[in-house]
Amino acid sequence: MYFCSMETQRQRKIAGVIQKDIVDILQKAAIDGGLRNTLISVSKVAVTTDLSIAKIYLSIFPNDKAGELMEGIKSNQPLIKHELSQRTRNQLRRVPELLFYLDDSLDYIENIEKSLKREENPIENRDLLPKRKKS
């Protein structure tokens, strides 16, 4: 498994195709499963240089359903891969193995903003920061 920092044009193109189709598959599955007020978006797809593995980063809103939804997506991975292969049969010879991850970057940004808006601003008051031990 080798993810290169310099993506080739082919990797970007395949990642774009996978991203577009995975969004459709997951949204349709969520609606069919009765999750009408749940938004699933694919924030990023990274494909290995040998095109054998695709890491798919998902953002799920609202966050309280994210854990159980990710478990459902991971357990239905073979069905999702089959549906993807049906949609991309004219574009891809072989569908890569799909690895799903929860993208929590929006939560991380939100926590930083909340920390900065509080009265206890660690930038202005250095005593709030944990002391680092010098080695």
Domain assignment present for 17: yes
Where does the pLDDT of residue 13 fall: very low under 50, low under 70, confident under 90, or very high at 90 and above? Answer: very high
Domain assignment present for 121: no
Domain assignment present for 3: no
* Token digits of residue 63: 């966050």
pLDDT given at position 96: 93
At 19, which CATH number? 3.30.300.20
Domain assignment present for 65: yes
Domain assignment present for 133: no
How many distinct structural domains can be found in the chain? 1
Tens digits of residue pLDDT in 39-83? 888 999 999 999 899 999 998 887 787 888 888 889 999 999 999
More confident residue, 126 or 105: 105
Q: Extract the runs of DSSP E, i.e. beta strands, from the chain.
A: 39-47, 53-61, 97-102
Where does the pLDDT of residue 108 fall: very low under 50, low under 70, confident under 90, or very high at 90 and above? Answer: confident
| Distance (Å) of CA 55 to CA 33, 47, 70, 95, 100 | 24, 6, 14, 12, 6
SS3 89: coil
- Structural domain including 88 reads 9-116
Domain assignment present for 91: yes
Whole-angstrom distance, CA of residue 44 vs CA of residue 57: 5
